[in-house]
Amino acid sequence: MIKLVNVSKSFSQFKVIKSVSLTIDKGEVHGIIGASGAGKSTLLRLVNLLELPDQGEVEVNGQKLTNLSSKELRRARKSIGMIFQHFNLLANKTVYENVAVSLELANYPKKERRDRIIECLQFVGLKDLIKQYPAQLSGGQKQRVAIARALANNPQVLLCDEPTSSLDPNISAEILGVLENINKVLGVTIVIVSHEMEVIKSICNRVTVMANGEIYDTVSTEPIGIHHIDKSPSYFVEQLAKAGEMDDA
């Protein structure tokens, strides 16, 4: 599904990705974790050629992206969705229009656009907010819009760059639930960059650990499930009481 072969990338003189080879199979939820500056986001952006590699080959869905013309690359990118830590929504467009833009850019048949937009917003649980602007939404709702936008063109792969890092733990859990659903229900292969081990352990079945621009290891894992935190006031009081008991001990 995704194959990187000896991919390297430098910014100025600094080699950020050093001859990395990685294969991700169809249907995986693949995590990429590592310390800050390890090269996780750059590696993810190399998968859809948002960053062009200096060397090496990138193949997605059986197509060598590194061999394509810019027109062919635009077409190939329809099957690769992406979401970001800060959502990257268009502030002057409504929820509906944010999703519509992605279909317009892809020349999706005009007559079918409305149904497709509603379908995607329904999938992420936002059908009732189509007329709102991003500023009127919570962080979790903004990320859901970004997910709907990424899903609109029926991608085979969804790249997620720190998708929950701006969200509180409960909202993170909800977004992870949406991503898990996309993988299970729609069969989309997911690659998720995160510096949070809890996030990676919750839904990933294979994980690449990066260090200094290289792959330190890739391991198969059993997802432990998404941890929803109790939001009730009694839970907070209980936790504070426990902390007090530990201080007394």
Ligand X SMILES: Nc1ncnc2c1ncn2[C@@H]1O[C@H](COP(=O)(O)OP(=O)(O)OP(=O)(O)O)[C@@H](O)[C@H]1O
Beta carbon of residue 47, minimum distance to ligand X (angstroms, whole number): 12
The span from the CA of 112 to the CA of 17, in Å, is 41
Structure tokens at 91: 């502030």
Burial class of residue 68 in the structure, from the number of CB atoms within 10 Å of its CB (0-12 exposed, 13-18 middle, 19+ buried): middle
Among 7, 20, 24, 38, binds ligand X (CB under 6 A): 38
Among 15, 78, 113, 195, binds ligand X (CB under 6 A): 195
Phi-psi region of 39 (alpha: psi -120 to 50; beta: other; left: phi over 0): left
Beta carbon of residue 215, minimum distance to ligand X (angstroms, whole number): 12
- Give me the phi and psi of 222, to 5 degrees please: -100, 115
Q: Does 11 bind ligand X (CB under 6 A)?
A: yes
Structure tokens at 119: 């379908």
Segment interacting with ligand X (CB under 6 A) among 39-47, 75-83, 106-114, 133-141: 39-47
Q: Give the count of residues interacting with ligand X (CB under 6 A).
A: 11
Lookup result for tokens 């792969």: 157
Burial class of residue 88 in the structure, from the number of CB atoms within 10 Å of its CB (0-12 exposed, 13-18 middle, 19+ buried): middle
Among 27, 37, 225, 244, binds ligand X (CB under 6 A): 37
Beta carbon of residue 56, minimum distance to ligand X (angstroms, whole number): 16
Q: Does 194 bind ligand X (CB under 6 A)?
A: no
Residue of 147, 146, 202 whose CA lies nearest to 31: 202
Among 2, 7, 22, 34, binds ligand X (CB under 6 A): 34
| Residue 180 or 214 with smaller CB distance to ligand X | 214
Q: Does 22 bind ligand X (CB under 6 A)?
A: no
* Cα–Cα distance list, 186 to 3, 6, 158, 205 (Å): 21, 31, 11, 17
* Helix ranges (DSSP H) in the chain: 40-47, 70-76, 95-105, 110-123, 139-151, 169-186, 197-203, 233-248
SS3 172: helix
Q: Does 163 bind ligand X (CB under 6 A)?
A: no
Q: Does 36 bind ligand X (CB under 6 A)?
A: yes
Among 7, 42, 87, 226, binds ligand X (CB under 6 A): 42
Q: Does 31 bind ligand X (CB under 6 A)?
A: no
Among 16, 46, 146, 150, binds ligand X (CB under 6 A): 16
Q: Does 153 bind ligand X (CB under 6 A)?
A: no
Residues that bind ligand X (CB under 6 A): 11, 16, 34, 36-42, 195
